[in-house]
Amino acid sequence: MGVGSPSEQFGPLTGLRVLELGGIGPAPFGGMLLRDLGAEVTRIERVEHVDAPDISVFAHSILTRGRRSIALDITTPEGVAAVMGLIGDVDVLIEGFRPGVLERLGFAPETLWSRNPRLVIGRMTGWGQDGPLSAFAGHDINYLAVSGVLGGAVGPDGTPVAPLNMLGDFAGGGLLLAFGVLAAVHEATRTGTGQIVDAAIVDGVALFTAMLHAMRRHDMWDDGDIGGNLFDGGAPFYGVFRTRDDQWLAVGAIEPQFYNRFIDILGLSDQLNALGQHDKSHWAQTRALFVETIAERTQSDWLTAFDGVDACVSPVVRPADVLSEVHLDARRVYTDVDGMIQPAPAPRFSRYQTMTAAPTVAPGADTVAVLRNAGFDDTEIDSLIARGVARQRRT
C-alpha cells in the first residue's frame, strides 16, 4: 500500500515517492521542487499545527504546495511506529533537523534501512552533519558570511549586504538537497542500496564561488578593493541606477558591444569612449555620469529608449508587480493560485507542457487517507487520533 493516492501532477519525476518530516525553509523548498516535477510528496506535520498553526506555517505555505499532509506526534512510540509503517513504500525521506535529532527520535539511518534498504535519506542542515559548527544554529546570513560569499557583496559604504534569504536557504540549500537526492535515487535504482545525502547550505553557497576564486587566481579580482571589482558594485556598467520617478534600472553592459550601445542611448559616447570601459581610474567619473544622466528621465522613458536595443538594461521589478512584467507574463513565470502569487514549476520539459503550481496544503488534511493507504485499519487510526498521536484537519 502507498502513503498516498496517485499524484495528479505529472512530470519527469512521476512515480517517485517522498516522505518529508515537517520543517521550515530549505528542506520543504527541496520537497517543493520534487513535487513540482511530478513526485508524490507526503509531509508529516506537527499535530499542534492542525488547529492552531504558528506563523511559520503561513510563511512557508507555498513551499508545501501539492503535498499530502499527515499530522503525527513523532516524539511518541506510536508516532515512530506510524512513520516506520510509511517508510517501506517510499524512495526518499527528507529531514531538516540538526545532526543527531533524527537518531534521537528513533529514526537512525540503519533503522530506516532495515525497513527499506533502497531508501535515500536527504538531510538538510546549515552547517552539515559534521564540523565544529554542526551542532549550532544558524540562518541564511550566517552561512553566507562564513562561506566567503557575503564578504564580496557590499553596499556603497562597504558594508556587506545580504541578498534577502534566498541565496543560502533556497539556492544553496533546498536546490542542492533536491539535486543530491535525485543523484542518490539514480544510484539506488542501479544498486538497490540507499544512502545519506548530506546537503549543507554552507557547502551549497561555496559552490557558487567557483568563478570568483578563478578570477582571484588570475588577478581579475582584488581582495583589497572590495566594492571596486566587476561584480561587487565597482564597475559602473554593472549596477543599479535610480530614475527620476524613484524607480530603478539594472545595467549589465559588460561586453563592449553592449556597453557601446548603452552609452550611445544615454548620449554619453563622446565623453566616455576616450576614457576606456575597463580603466578603473575612470570608473568613479563614469559612474557619476551614469547616475546624473539616468536620474534625468523616468524608468518608463528609459525603457522606451532601450526598447529593442540589446544593451543588457532591465527594469527592477517589485515583487508585487511580477504578474504584469511583459516577459514574465509571456512565459507564465509566475502564477496566481487561490489569490497567492507564486513561481511556476521550473525547469520546463518538452514532454510535459502542462505542469502547473499546485494549491497549498493545510496541515493534517490527509492524515486518515494517508494512514489508510499505508495499511492502517480504522480502529488503529481512531486509536492514534484519540490518544493525540495523529490528528485530522476538519474540513
Grid coordinates in use for 118?
533502497
List the helix and strand counts (H, then E) for the chain.
17, 12
Q: Distance (Å, rounded) from C-alpha 155 to C-alpha 340?
A: 32
Would you say 18 and 31 are in contact if contact means Cβ atoms under 8 Å apart? Answer: yes
Mean pLDDT on 267-274: 94
Three-class SS string for 169-235?
HHHHHHHHHHHHHHHHHHHHHHHCCCCEEEEEHHHHHHHCCHHHHHHHHCCCCCHHHCCCCCCCCCC
pLDDT of residue 6: 39
Q: Distance (Å, rounded) from C-alpha 267 to C-alpha 329?
A: 31
Grid cell 502507498 is found at 2
Q: Distance (Å, rounded) from C-alpha 265 to C-alpha 306?
A: 7
Specify whether 310 is catalytic.
no
Closest CA to 56 of 87, 35, 34, 28: 28
Higher pLDDT pick, 10 / 302: 302
Higher pLDDT pick, 5 / 246: 246
pLDDT of residue 361: 84
Q: Is the pLDDT of residue 93 over 90?
A: yes
Q: Distance (Å, rounded) from C-alpha 187 to C-alpha 192?
A: 8
pLDDT of residue 8: 53
Q: Is the dihedral of CA 382, 388, 391, 393 positive or negative?
A: positive
Q: Is the pLDDT of residue 1 over 60?
A: no
Instruction: pLDDT band for 4, please (50, 70, 90 cuts).
Output: very low
Would you say 70 and 366 are in contact if contact means Cβ atoms under 8 Å apart? Answer: yes
Would you say 375 and 3 are in contact if contact means Cβ atoms under 8 Å apart? Answer: no
Which one-letter amino acid corresponds to residue 393? R
Specify whether 139 is catalytic.
yes
Q: What is the residue-averaged pLDDT of the chain?
A: 93
Hey, how many other C-beta atoms are within 10 angstroms of the C-beta on 68? 20
Mean pLDDT on 170-191: 98
Q: What torsion do the CA atoms of 3, 362, 35, 319 make, to the nearest 10 degrees?
A: -170
Grid coordinates in use for 44?
508529516
Query: Of the listed 36, 169, 203, 232, which one is catalytic?
Result: 169
Which one-letter amino acid corresponds to residue 353? Q
Task: State pLDDT tens for residues 36-82.
Answer: 999 999 999 999 999 877 767 778 889 999 999 999 999 999 999 99
Domains and CATH numbers, the chain: 17-207+350-391 (3.40.50.10540), 238-331 (3.30.1540.10)
Query: What residues contact residue 149 under an 8 Å CB cut-off, 6+ apart?
Result: 167, 168, 205, 206, 208, 209
pTM here? 0.93
Q: How far is CA 56 from the centre of its chain?
A: 16
